[in-house]
């Protein structure tokens, strides 16, 4: 999957685009914090459960080429075995498996903060067979973005 090219409104609301063979959920929000803080939060695997209400655990190291095991509140009994596929420090992080990829991007918003965007596209030839079994990502994406924004802004305004 590639980064969502559509221009998302930065309102922290998820949008999902469905087609026969794929589904893509995207979200974007402004975060009033330095990019280094947002990046540090996104790449510290062990720390996720402390601030992110959608993640139960991430085992492994989030770095280029590394494999991680992610447990999400979306499907708590399942462990997603993912590989970090792109890792551009402070800018872009991609992890995924054969089913799809999650893309995180961080860009300056020209106002001492950043635009954080996240998208995930899942799909393939067999997608129509199991599409109905996969829950919506919208609520989870909104929680993820809101948690990240809250945590990064708390850190940024700390003394």
Task: Give the residues lining the site for other proteins (CB under 8 A).
Answer: 33-34, 36-37, 40-41, 44, 47, 50, 154-156, 158-159
* CB closer to other proteins, 34 vs 86: 34
Please, what is the minimum distance in Å from the beta carbon of residue 88 to other proteins? 18
Please, what is the minimum distance in Å from the beta carbon of residue 30 to other proteins? 16
**DSSP character for 11?**
B
**φ, ψ for residue 111, nearest 5 deg:** -135, 45
> Could you give the CA distance from residue 137 to residue 16 in angstroms, rounded to a whole number?
8
| Structure tokens, 150 | 């809250």
* CB closer to other proteins, 17 vs 46: 46
> Could you give the CA distance from residue 55 to residue 98 in angstroms, rounded to a whole number?
21
Tell me if 104 sits within 8 A of 42, measured CB to CB. yes
Please, what is the minimum distance in Å from the beta carbon of residue 140 to other proteins? 23
* CB closer to other proteins, 47 vs 147: 47
Tell me if 113 sits within 8 A of 30, measured CB to CB. yes
* CB closer to other proteins, 64 vs 156: 156
The alpha carbon torsion through 32, 88, 43, 33 (nearest 10 deg) reads -10
Please, what is the minimum distance in Å from the beta carbon of residue 66 to other proteins? 17
For residues 81-93, b (16+ Cβ closer than 10 Å) or e, as one string? ebbbbebeebebb
Please, what is the minimum distance in Å from the beta carbon of residue 120 to other proteins? 26
* CB closer to other proteins, 60 vs 138: 60
């Amino acid at each position: 999957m590639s980064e969502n090219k559509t221009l998302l409104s930065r309102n922290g609301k998820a949008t999902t685009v469905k087609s026969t063979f794929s589904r893509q959920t995207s979200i974007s929000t402004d975060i009033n914090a330095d990019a280094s803080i947002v990046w540090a939060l996104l790449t510290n695997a062990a720390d996720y459960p402390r601030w992110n209400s959608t993640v139960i655990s991430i085992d492994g190291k989030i770095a280029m080429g590394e494999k991680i095991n992610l447990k999400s509140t979306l499907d708590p009994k399942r462990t997603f075995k993912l590989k970090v596929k792109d890792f551009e420090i402070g800018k872009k992080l991609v992890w995924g498996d054969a089913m799809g990829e999650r893309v995180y991007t961080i860009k300056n918003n020209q106002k001492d903060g950043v635009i954080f965007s996240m998208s995930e596209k899942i799909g393939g030839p067999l997608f129509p067979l199991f599409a109905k079994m996969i829950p919506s990502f919208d609520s989870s994406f909104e929680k993820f973005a809101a948690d990240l924004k809250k945590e990064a802004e708390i850190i940024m305004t700390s003394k």
